């Protein structure tokens, strides 16, 4: 880059920054501390939930926050979300995703520009409905194995059971490996270090982070994950192509072998690690929340079980039967509405946009919160109530297309959302077909924590009753 081009870029960036600052000063938001801004709020989950639940009445038309000296605009109205998310020409993922880059590499979650476009185009066909249908037997086999390990009248930590099942499903469907009971893998034993960095915002600056012990630990863990997948990949390449079973890793390997210049071995590893990590915490959290709501709302659970019983009382569950489980899916969507596992999305504007007569300049960091949007009282009546009827066919017709976005929306939405839906519906149908769930303590309220995904603080404990023995 020539000196003139560099100076032009720097000047443009400075101008964009001060435009964002000028706008931020005119917008409402929580009180900010000198230098720190609002970064301490990140650790105060109850306060964040309070602000999120009441944001539309506290801060209109959107919220301003400060991360040190960087202004952030939080938008939540569906029409605003449509403008920002509907085109890759308006926004791209911002600096928060760079935190994950050193950990999972240049995968779909972290990549931008042409790299993202190329990988998305290559990987998209692997999530076609015809491919997903082939995974259903694997989903169900793991779920049945989980059911077989549980006892009647037992109080169990549902979070651990769900997470263990999801990890086994992902090992089978993504990596093509059977995970044995108690078998150690870096995906099981790994400590999620990214959130430690996010909860200490000064570590978002690379020049500080790279001088910490946390950086050394992250590099070690990252190396373990990538080495684990690489060793599986090497074994697969030595196999006859005809002997390779259906799994995402094998499909990625085949794609790389056909076009190594466009999709390298490193790309295969990065994407496999990305899918393993992205599919683990988020799906586990959603299923935990779903079972909590079933235990809390017994009439709803009875209706879900009746539907499962009528459609798939015994035997393997088919994709056609899954499609018929409409009430089960309504409950799943209502769970995702109240407690989206990924409550925050982050974008960086690459062009000026107008939202509610405000001109938001390019370069502005925009945060999008499904958690807030899903609780807007003018979009969802009585928003704190668990009401699956919101997502009936009739009621869904009235919903703004950008009012419900648990897996984001637009061209950069979650590529694996259909995979996740099938996986979750199979687990729910299998679990509730065998067990009736109740709260350990009727007065117990769900407490939340944040670890990249929203989750049940301390895990969720439920009491199981075998439907076969108790006829319930």
Work out the angle between the directed axes of helices 326-338 and 417-434 (0-180°, nearest 10). 110
Q: Round to whole Å and give the CA distance between 357 and 235.
A: 58
DSSP code at position 379: T
| Residue set of the binding site for heme | 414
Q: Round to whole Å and give the CA distance between 220 and 414.
A: 28
- Name which of 247, 244, 256, 195 is nearest 221 in CA terms: 195
Please list, in sequence order, all residues whose beta carbon lies within 8 angstroms of the beta carbon of residue 117, skipping any fewer than 6 positions away. Answer: 88
Q: Round to whole Å and give the CA distance between 12 and 7.
A: 8
Q: Round to whole Å and give the CA distance between 227 and 220.
A: 10
Please list, in sequence order, all residues whose beta carbon lies within 8 angstroms of the beta carbon of residue 132, skipping any fewer than 6 positions away. Answer: 319, 418, 419, 422
3-state DSSP assignment of residue 264: coil
Helices (H) and strands (E) in the chain, counts: 20, 12
| Residue set of the binding site | 414
- Name which of 189, 213, 188 is nearest 203 in CA terms: 213
3-state DSSP assignment of residue 78: helix
């Amino acid at each position: 880059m020539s000196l003139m081009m560099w100076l032009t870029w720097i000047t443009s960036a400075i101008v964009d920054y001060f435009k964002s600052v000028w706008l931020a000063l005119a917008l409402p938001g929580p009180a900010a501390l000198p230098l720190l801004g609002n970064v301490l709020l990140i650790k105060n989950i109850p306060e964040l939930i309070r602000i999120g639940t009441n944001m539309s009445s506290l801060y209109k038309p959107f919220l301003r926050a400060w991360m040190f000296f960087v202004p952030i605009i939080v938008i939540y109205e569906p029409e605003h979300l449509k403008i920002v998310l509907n085109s890759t020409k308006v926004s791209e993922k911002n600096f928060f995703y760079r935190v994950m880059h050193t950990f999972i590499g240049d995968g779909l979650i972290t990549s931008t520009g042409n790299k993202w476009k190329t990988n998305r185009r290559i990987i998209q066909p692997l999530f076609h409905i015809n491919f997903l249908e082939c995974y259903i037997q694997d989903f169900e086999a793991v779920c049945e194995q989980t059911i077989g390990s549980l006892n009647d009248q037992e109080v169990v930590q549902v979070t651990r059971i769900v997470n263990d099942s999801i990890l086994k499903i992902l090992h089978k469907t993504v990596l093509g490996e059977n995970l044995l009971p108690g078998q150690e893998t870096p995906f099981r034993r790994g400590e999620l270090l990214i959130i430690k960095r996010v909860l200490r915002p000064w570590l978002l600056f690379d020049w500080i982070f790279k001088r910490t012990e946390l950086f050394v630990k992250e590099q070690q863990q990252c190396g373990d994950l990538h080495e684990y997948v690489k060793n599986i990949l090497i074994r697969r390449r030595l196999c006859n192509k005809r002997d390779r079973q259906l799994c995402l890793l094998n499909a990625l390997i085949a794609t790389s072998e056909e076009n190594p210049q466009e999709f390298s071995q490193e790309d295969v590893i990065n994407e496999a690690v990305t899918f393993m990590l992205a599919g683990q915490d988020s799906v586990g959290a959603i299923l935990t929340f779903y079972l909590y709501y079933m235990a809390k709302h017994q009439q709803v659970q009875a209706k879900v079980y009746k539907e499962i019983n009528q459609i798939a009382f015994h035997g393997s569950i088919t994709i056609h039967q899954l499609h018929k489980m409409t009430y089960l899916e309504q409950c799943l969507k209502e769970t995702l509405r109240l407690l989206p596992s990924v409550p925050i999305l982050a974008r960086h504007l690459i062009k000026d946009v107008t939202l509610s007569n405000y001109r938001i300049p390019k370069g502005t960091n925009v945060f999008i919160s499904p958690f807030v949007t899903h609780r807007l009282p003018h979009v969802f009546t009585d928003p704190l109530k668990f009401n699956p009827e919101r997502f009936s066919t009739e009621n869904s017709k009235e919903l703004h297309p950008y009012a419900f976005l648990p897996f984001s929306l637009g061209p950069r939405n979650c590529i694996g959302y259909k995979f996740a839906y099938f996986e979750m519906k199979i687990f729910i149908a299998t679990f509730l077909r065998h067990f009736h769930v109740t709260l350990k303590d009727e007065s117990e309220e769900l407490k939340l924590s944040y670890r990249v995904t929203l989750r049940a603080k301390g895990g969720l404990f439920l009491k199981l009753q075998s439907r076969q023995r108790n006829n319930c």
